């Protein structure tokens, strides 16, 4: 069984979504692919989201409905 890396998957899904105002990505745009494409659970999503925020890869908007991909998250993807 492959090792699952939920936080990295969240960053990858966030990077694949076209951001809206101020670089925000609606949380459901990463939640749905995480659960249905990646096969993750709700608890994995929550834990992965918290971890990605703690590491400074994602920033959670105060409303809790949007995230923003931060520079360290971009660095994880190997982008220039």
Give the residue numbers spanning the domain of 36. Answer: 11-76
User: % helix / strand / coil in the chain, to the nearest 5?
Assistant: 50, 10, 35
Instruction: Decide if 67 is inside a domain.
Output: yes
Instruction: Decide if 5 is inside a domain.
Output: no
Quick one: tokens of 64? 């809790």
**Among 2-6, 9-13, 45-49, 68-72, which range has the highest average pLDDT?**
45-49
Instruction: Decide if 64 is inside a domain.
Output: yes
**Stronger pLDDT, 72 or 68, i.e. the higher one:** 68
Q: Yes or no: say if 76 and 8 are a contact pair by the CB < 8 Å rule.
A: yes
Instruction: Decide if 1 is inside a domain.
Output: no
Number of domains, the chain: 1
Q: Give this prediction's pTM.
A: 0.82
Instruction: List Cα–Cα distances, 51 to 10, 20, 41, 65, in angstroms.
Output: 10, 23, 15, 17
Give the model's confidence band at 72: pLDDT under 50 very low, under 70 low, under 90 confident, else very high: confident
Instruction: Decide if 2 is inside a domain.
Output: no
3-class DSSP assignment, residue 53: helix
């Amino acid at each position: 069984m492959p090792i699952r890396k939920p936080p990295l998957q969240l960053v990858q899904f966030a990077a694949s979504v076209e951001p809206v105002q101020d670089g925000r990505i609606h949380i459901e745009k990463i939640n749905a692919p995480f659960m249905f494409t990646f096969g993750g659970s709700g608890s994995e999503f929550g834990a992965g989201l918290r971890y990605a925020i703690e590491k400074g890869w994602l920033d959670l908007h105060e409303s809790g409905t949007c995230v923003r991909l931060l520079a360290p998250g971009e660095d994880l993807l190997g982008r220039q």
